[in-house]
Amino acid sequence: MGQVMNILVSNDDGIFALGMRTLATTLAEAGHQVTVVCPDRERSATGHGLTMHKPIRAEAIEEVFPPKIRAWSCSGTPSDCVKLALGALMDSFPDVVVSGINHGANLGTDVLYSGTVSAAMEGAMEGIPAIAVSLTSFTQRSFAPAAAYIRDLLASEGLFALPKSLLLNVNVPALAVADIKGAKLTRQGIRRYFDQFERRLDPRGKTYYWLAGEVIEEVEDPMLSQSWPPEWQAVLAAVPTDVQAIREGYISITPLQHNLTAITELSALTQWTPPTPPINAIDR
């Protein structure tokens, strides 16, 4: 066994989710000190939301985890869970934050909505190495291969030499271990949805809407053909997208960061002069 680590595990599927429990148990069985802080119910697609206008409550959970795992359920969002763990529930910062295993993919533009990714991003924003991990199926419930991969990834040399502001977004294909072809470093693809809102009536005759979007196949990244410098285009074209890697049977590992500045656009924008504020406007 490699270095024993202090690991914070969170998710957005809730404290009783099988994927998270499989991950936490696998890491504890590898000898690591594991602390679990997760939402008290499913909080999928909550993005990086925070609870600001009501109290956050935490309750110790014992019955579903081995005794060596300290676990709490939290009334807040996935981001709340990690903030609360770091600021109140843990005696010291963990060596790494791992969020998941999410039941369903977090590929392409999914990461903008994902509570799984946001929980891990809270760790990265605090300078703590962070990993988000997802199983790319809503029906498959075999989380052991993904949990074992994260255990091995944490033991790999060089992982903690990466910049601490980076988050590794790991997606594992829903395949038997023997059928997974390997792992690839990937870039974020573009995964669009066809959004459909079903109009329904509640028992009192009031109208409500239910979002029922469907995934559209990955679309071409316009950044590769437009504003990126030619040398960058060549480098990026050689790196598969996360969607492509999963489709081909590989585990995808995509480095993400919380700084969303469009760096390559800055030089083009220097040619543009924003309008000046209206000096004669009246404050109201």
Alpha carbons 245 and 146: distance in angstroms, whole number: 15
Residue 213, pLDDT above cutoff 70: no
Q: How confident is the model at residue 177 (pLDDT cuts 50, 70, 90)?
A: very high
pLDDT at 170: 98
Residue 274, pLDDT above cutoff 90: no
pLDDT at 109: 87
Mean pLDDT (whole number) for 214-232: 64
Alpha carbons 239 and 189: distance in angstroms, whole number: 11
The pair of structure tokens assigned to 256 is 């993400």
pLDDT at 182: 96
- SS3 track for the chain: CCCCCEEEEECCCCCCCHHHHHHHHHHHHCCCEEEEEEECCCCCCCCCCCCCCCCCCEEEECCCCCCCCEEEEECCCHHHHHHHHHHHHCCCCCCEEEEEEEECCCCHHHHHCCHHHHHHHHHHHCCCCEEEEEECCCCCCCCHHHHHHHHHHHHCCCHHHCCCCCEEEEEECCCCHHHCCEEEECECCCCCEECCEEEEECCCCCEEEEECCEECCCCCCHHHCCCCCHHHHHHHHCCCEHHHHHHCCEEEEEEECCCCCCHHHHHHHCCCCCCCCCCCCCCC
CA 178 to chain centre: 26
Q: In what order do the strands lie in the sheet with 58-61?
A: 58-61, 70-74, 33-39, 6-10, 96-103, 130-135, 167-172, 250-256, 182-185
pLDDT at 275: 84
Alpha carbons 174 and 136: distance in angstroms, whole number: 6
Residue listed under structure tokens 């369903």: 104
Mean pLDDT (whole number) for 42-65: 90
The pair of structure tokens assigned to 229 is 């410098």
Residue 13, pLDDT above cutoff 80: yes
Residue listed under structure tokens 């599927």: 13
Indicate the average pLDDT of the chain. 89
pLDDT at 10: 98
- Note the pLDDT tens digit of each residue in 121-157: 999 999 999 999 999 998 888 999 999 999 999 998 8
pLDDT at 1: 45
Which whole-number Å values give the CA distances from 254 to 42, 107, 169, 170, 171, in the listed order?
25, 9, 5, 7, 9
- Kindly report the CATH class assigned to 6-188+240-266: alpha beta
Domain ranges of the chain: 6-188+240-266, 193-235
Give the pTM. 0.90
Residue 6, pLDDT above cutoff 70: yes
pLDDT at 227: 63
pLDDT at 44: 86
- Note the pLDDT tens digit of each residue in 68-127: 999 999 999 999 999 999 999 999 999 999 999 999 999 998 899 999 999 999 999 999
